[in-house]
Amino acid sequence: MRRYLIEILSVSVSVAVALAGACPTPAVARPAQKALDIYFIDVEGGQATLIATPRGQAVLVDTGNPGTRDAERIMEAIRAAGVKKIDYLLITHYHGDHIGGYLELAKLVPILNYVDHGPSVESRLIDSKKAYDAATLSAPHRIVRPGDRLPVRGIEWTIVSSAGKTLEGSMLGAPGAGEANPYCADFAPKDIREGPENAQSVGSVIRYGRFRAVDLGDLLWNWEGQLACPVNLIGSVDLLLTTHHGLAWSGAPALIFGLSPRVVVMNNGTRKGADVDSFKTLYSSPGLEDLWQLHWSANASTEYNAPGRYIANLETPATTAGVIADPPPPATMGKPAADIGDPNHAPAYWIKVSAQPDGSFTVTNSRNGFSKTYGRRQS
Chain centroid to CA 267: 8
Distance CA 261, CA 290 (A): 9
| Complex with Zn ion: residue 36 or 71, whichever CB lies closer | 71
Q: How far is the CB of 48 from Zn ion (least distance, A)?
A: 11
User: Based on CB atoms, which residue is closest to Zn ion, 112 or 333?
Assistant: 333
Minimum CB–partner distance for residue 218 and Zn ion (Å): 4
| Closer CB to Zn ion, 103 or 152, in the complex | 103
The smaller minimum CB distance to Zn ion, of residues 262 and 272, is found at 272
Helices (H) and strands (E) in the chain, counts: 9, 22
Q: What DSSP designation does 32 have?
A: P
Query: Smallest gap, in angstroms, from Cβ of residue 95 to Zn ion?
Result: 5
For residue 122, the minimal CB distance to Zn ion (Å) is 13
Alpha-carbon gap, residue 162 to 141, rounded angstroms: 15
CA distances, 90 to each of 80, 298, 310 (Å): 20, 30, 27
What torsion do the CA atoms of 147, 151, 154, 157 make, to the nearest 10 degrees?
-30
Nearer to Zn ion, 97 or 238 (CB): 97
Q: Find the shortest distance in angstroms from Cβ 273 to Zn ion.
A: 8
Task: Write down the least CB distance from residue 245 to Zn ion, Å.
Answer: 6
Provide, rounded to whole angstroms, the least separation between the CB of residue 168 and Zn ion. 26
Q: Give the nearer residue to Zn ion in terms of CB position, either 87 or 97.
A: 97
**How far apart, in whole angstroms, are the C-alpha atoms of residue 235 and residue 179?**
8
Q: Which is nearer to Zn ion, 77 or 247 (CB)?
A: 247
Q: Which residues contact 102 (CB under 8 A, 6 or more apart)?
A: 63, 89, 91, 128, 129, 131, 132
Q: Are 245 and 45 in contact (CB under 8 A)?
A: yes
**Site residues, Zn ion (CB under 5 A):** 97, 218
DSSP string, 218-252: T--HHHHHHHHSSEESS---SEEEPGGGG-TTS--
Under DSSP, the state recorded for 28 is P
